[in-house]
Amino acid sequence: MSKNLTSRADDYSKWYNELVVKADLAENSAVRGCMVIKPYGYAIWEKMQAELDRMFKETGHQNAYFPLFVPKSLFEAEEKNAEGFAKECAVVTHYRLQNDPDNPGKLRVDPDAKLEEELVVRPTSEAIIWNTYKGWIQSYRDLPILINQWANVVRWEMRTRLFLRTAEFLWQEGHTAHATEAEALIEAEQMNNVYAEFAENFMAIPVIKGVKTESERFAGAIETYCIEALMQDGKALQAGTSHFLGQNFAKAFDVKFTNNEGKLDYVWATSWGVSTRLVGALIMTHSDDKGLVLPPNLAPSQVVIVPIFKTDEQFEAITEKAEQIIKELKALGVSCKFDKRTTHRPGAKFAQHELQGVPLRIAIGPKDLENNTVELARRDTLTKEIVQIDNIASTIKDLLELIQDELFKKALNFREEHITEVDDLETFKNVLETKTGFISAHWDGTIESEQKIKELTKATIRCIPSDNKLEAGKCIYSGNPSTQRVLFAKAY
Amino acid sequence: MSKNLTSRADDYSKWYNELVVKADLAENSAVRGCMVIKPYGYAIWEKMQAELDRMFKETGHQNAYFPLFVPKSLFEAEEKNAEGFAKECAVVTHYRLQNDPDNPGKLRVDPDAKLEEELVVRPTSEAIIWNTYKGWIQSYRDLPILINQWANVVRWEMRTRLFLRTAEFLWQEGHTAHATEAEALIEAEQMNNVYAEFAENFMAIPVIKGVKTESERFAGAIETYCIEALMQDGKALQAGTSHFLGQNFAKAFDVKFTNNEGKLDYVWATSWGVSTRLVGALIMTHSDDKGLVLPPNLAPSQVVIVPIFKTDEQFEAITEKAEQIIKELKALGVSCKFDKRTTHRPGAKFAQHELQGVPLRIAIGPKDLENNTVELARRDTLTKEIVQIDNIASTIKDLLELIQDELFKKALNFREEHITEVDDLETFKNVLETKTGFISAHWDGTIESEQKIKELTKATIRCIPSDNKLEAGKCIYSGNPSTQRVLFAKAY
């Protein structure tokens, strides 16, 4: 199967699209821009969900659920937010179909079932949630509210790609309400740190934490914290964002509270989210020309056992060994699948598991039975070794930790090699086109320079890194004074 | 708080509505018929999800995700299904908003952004899924497909009630594809059994398993298996359904496969679902005039500890005891919350936990410190006792199991007392209005008699029980011969 995969060098974009489909992660649906997430892809998303959910709860958040629809009058209440999303809204205008008198057996929208007020399918839920919070908040005693929602959202994007940009996608959106500006700022930054920790420790994707420039901020935010990752083709991918919303939504929805001095004030807000886009980031960070490479933390099966046999007796003996290994691995918290399908030969199974990125493959054949060994193959390095079956479970557990660690380091090395300090626009263009990656360059802080650089190079400012050091310099576009470098890149 | 709750005897319906809101489970939203599920209500739903998901996976199912939208041409492909849902469909007709030239600061639907084909917001996903399965199935080797989806769906109901009937609700929908009729039938019945097991063992709700009559079947199904529960007001509630869909959807979407004899045949289908409606069933089965009563399996916190103190020293000593208890309970898998809020007095805390149905409450005061005891109160029986603190964790674990068991038995007794065999229509009406509950009566099997009985009494046939014994008799409406009794009731 993998032999049909386009190589990254030949066409990175095609490689990605093919891989998503061939590895059975997702496919396009009959609905323009919407994807079907297939069981294997969804299992990866479930692992992400479980870990993120644990992290959210550990930091004091609870889950809740708010309506899919936002009445137009609520949607337009926070003007900047509304303006930011208006152009990509799916709108429900009717609530009934009827038989089409002109086409027997067909349906049409019932013209008498027009809604008095149109409903926007949520592109994000600030409006419906802050309209709800209004009823929940009277005093500082009602604060903070720390809520997260797992949901689907719809943004009518014109150019879509599986996982990376789809008209409907799955995500989580945290929406918190606070009594003070300081507390909301701490929350927004905390959740960006949670995302960074998740990306690095769980997904093995190194990220740069920072804040967005004004023109790249979430519509309605005062500050947008973000984590930026670098893909293997040298393009950046925004992997998560956390917004300090100030009092914008509280003002739009008139959400006031009595503070502990008895005075009325508007409530302070944050929102933060990551989406199924992370699956795209995962694929593009680690995978190779043979298919997916999954970090052990996110692999639906961390180990697969393939039996190699001719006789029923051999199969039975191998099965016994396999079941023993699975039992020992389970006790150590390692997931392992025994691929005993009779419809596929070992070679086809090897190819499939390679394509689907199972971190470790065990093959057991007749010789292994004699020698009390197995063949253990790593997906990430494509190396194989014969190992003794005694203590194999703990060997595997250690190896999985090593793989997780090495995948991160490999991606980190790539990222570090692809941050280039540049001090003039010609070199900027050159590095962007040849070496690719992040470009660390001086910028004068104006929207004009940012836009011009984008027009000239297609690179955007991905973030102003959180750990940035101050450094006097000149804007690569205008030549005007600058106090720090920012990170530019072409981006997904 | 609970003193404000309407009693069940005074007005059962009002009691329910008040309880859902006062116990912080859910509330109505700004969107007609859609609810906001608040954190406490959502935590119960999460517990249901976790257990159901485990059961689905144990029976070989995998999760996936299909689009929210169904293009109208797909939606109408299976005619009966389309006809059944057409009258309650939210329809997306446009994909963009624009500034309203007549109302500065307001938005309107952009008339130039009309979709070529309208999109139905899924009321159920058979159409979009079977259109997808068409691409996945060529041969019997591709079967069975055993997929479940956790999703939101929209049915534009005219009369809505929190959890029981909402325009948008959360559910899971299983959609399976099989090579043979027999296998699909086994699957449909198996999943109904899974639902029954879940309802009885996990939710402590006794259910009757059966099949629906033709007129009560899911639109597009050949057979609908169901579980029916009885609420405290004597009305029935359909708690889950599992449909044998025959080849209806395979024919509508032209999904054929080559069977193991090399012949082409249409694929056999099932679908099955339970929804957030189960939260309504849970509330109405166990709760009382003081508020929620939650079975321990579903309680977000199984135990709550309330400290009673005057001095800081007392609070510290109580905290130490509480933390020890929590630690011991955690080791036994019991969840326990320490309610150390300083904003509420113990009496207010007691009232809140009673209203929210925490199964066990521990109070620790200065005397308990002296005597090495705690006060342990059961929510279900409202009984209290002083118990020694030694071995309290195992005492509590046993008690929670006992409560789970007793809640089921209590509900079962109520249900058994409320199944009445009736042989004439006058008694039928009388029992339905006075005693209420299920009525076991003969029916001639015709839609006409079923409809007439419904018109005359408002009772519907809830199911033909799976374990029904054959018994000759006469239809209570027509007097025509009947071979078995069926279960009638008024229903939610």
In order of their start, the domains of chain A are: 2-71+129-286 (3.30.930.10), 303-399 (3.40.50.800), 419-489 (3.30.110.30)
A39 touches chain B (CB under 8 A): yes
- Identify the closest residue of chain A to B150 by CA–CA distance: A151
Residue A164 has a pLDDT of: 97
Q: Which helix (H) or strand (E) holds A463?
A: strand A460-465
Chain A residues touching residue B151 (CB < 8 angstroms): 152
Residue A4 has a pLDDT of: 81
Angle (deg, nearest 10), helices A425-433 and A447-457:
50
Name residues 440-459 of chain A within 8 A of B (Cβ).
none
Residue B406 has a pLDDT of: 98
Alpha helices of A446-487 — where are they, by DSSP H?
A: 447-457
Chain A residues touching residue B134 (CB < 8 angstroms): none
DSSP string across B125-181: -HHHHHHHHHHH-SBGGG--EEEEEEEEEE---SS-BTTTB-SEEEEEEEEEEESSH
Q: What is the rounded CA–CA span in Å between residue A456 and residue A101? A: 55
Q: Are B467 and B475 in contact (CB under 8 A)?
A: no
B335 touches chain A (CB under 8 A): no
CB pairs under 8 A between A and B: 193
Residue pLDDT, tens place only, A192-244: 999 999 999 999 999 999 999 999 999 999 999 999 999 999 999 999 999 99
- Identify the closest residue of chain A to B82 by CA–CA distance: A107
**Which of B63, B91, B132 lies at the smallest CB-CB distance from A36?**
B132
B103 touches chain A (CB under 8 A): no
Nearest C-alpha neighbor of B118 from the set A351, A306, A96, A26: A96
B398-411 as b/e, with b when 16 or more CB fall inside 10 Å?
A: ebbeebbeebbebb
Nearest C-alpha neighbor of A46 from the set A279, A390, A365, A336: A279
Q: Mean pLDDT, to the nearest integer, of A47-75? A: 98
- What letter represents residue B487's amino acid? L
Residue A343 has a pLDDT of: 86
Judged by CB atoms closer than 8 Å, whether chains meet at B121 and A120 is answered as no
Residue B3 has a pLDDT of: 59
Q: Which helix (H) or strand (E) holds A226?
A: strand A223-230
Whether the bond into B144 is cis, omega within 30 of 0: yes
Instruction: Evaluate whether ipTM surpasses 0.95.
Output: yes
Q: Are B146 and B179 in contact (CB under 8 A)?
A: no
DSSP string across A339-374: ---SSS-HHHHHHHHHHTT-SEEEEE-HHHHHHTEE
Residue B343 has a pLDDT of: 87
* Sign of the CA dihedral running B386, B392, B398, B399: positive
Q: What is the rounded CA–CA span in Å between residue A128 and residue A173? A: 13
**Which of A72, A131, A343 lies at the smallest CB-CB distance from B107?**
A72
The residue count for chain A: 492
- Identify the closest residue of chain A to B46 by CA–CA distance: A63
B88 touches chain A (CB under 8 A): yes
**Which of A42, A66, A343 lies at the smallest CB-CB distance from B63?**
A42
Judged by CB atoms closer than 8 Å, whether chains meet at A95 and B105 is answered as no
- Identify the closest residue of chain B to A107 by CA–CA distance: B76
- Identify the closest residue of chain B to A72 by CA–CA distance: B107
Chain B residues touching residue A38 (CB < 8 angstroms): 64
pLDDT band at A3 (very low <50, low <70, confident <90, very high): low
User: Which residue positions in chain B have pLDDT lower than 70?
Assistant: 1-3
Question: Above pLDDT 70, what percent of chain A?
Answer: 99
**Which of A64, A72, A156 lies at the smallest CB-CB distance from B95?**
A156
A97 touches chain B (CB under 8 A): yes
Compute the 3-state secondary structure of chain A and give helix, strand, coil in percent, each to the nearest 5: 40, 30, 35
Q: Are A208 and A463 in contact (CB under 8 A)?
A: yes
Which residues 6+ apart lie within 8 Å of B323 measured at CB?
B338
A158 touches chain B (CB under 8 A): no
Where in B300-458 does DSSP place strands (E)? 303-307, 336-338, 360-364, 373-378, 384-388, 419-421, 438-442
Mutation target among A28, A37, A57, A69 for the B interface, most CBs of B within 10 A: A69
- Three-state secondary structure call for residue B336: strand
Residue pLDDT, tens place only, A318-377: 999 999 999 999 999 999 999 999 989 999 999 999 999 999 999 999 999 999 999 999
Residue B4 has a pLDDT of: 81
Judged by CB atoms closer than 8 Å, whether chains meet at B132 and A30 is answered as yes
Residue A2 has a pLDDT of: 45
pLDDT band at A1 (very low <50, low <70, confident <90, very high): very low
Residue pLDDT, tens place only, A140-193: 999 999 999 999 999 999 899 999 999 999 999 999 999 999 999 999 999 999
**Which of B86, B92, B152 lies at the smallest CB-CB distance from A98?**
B86
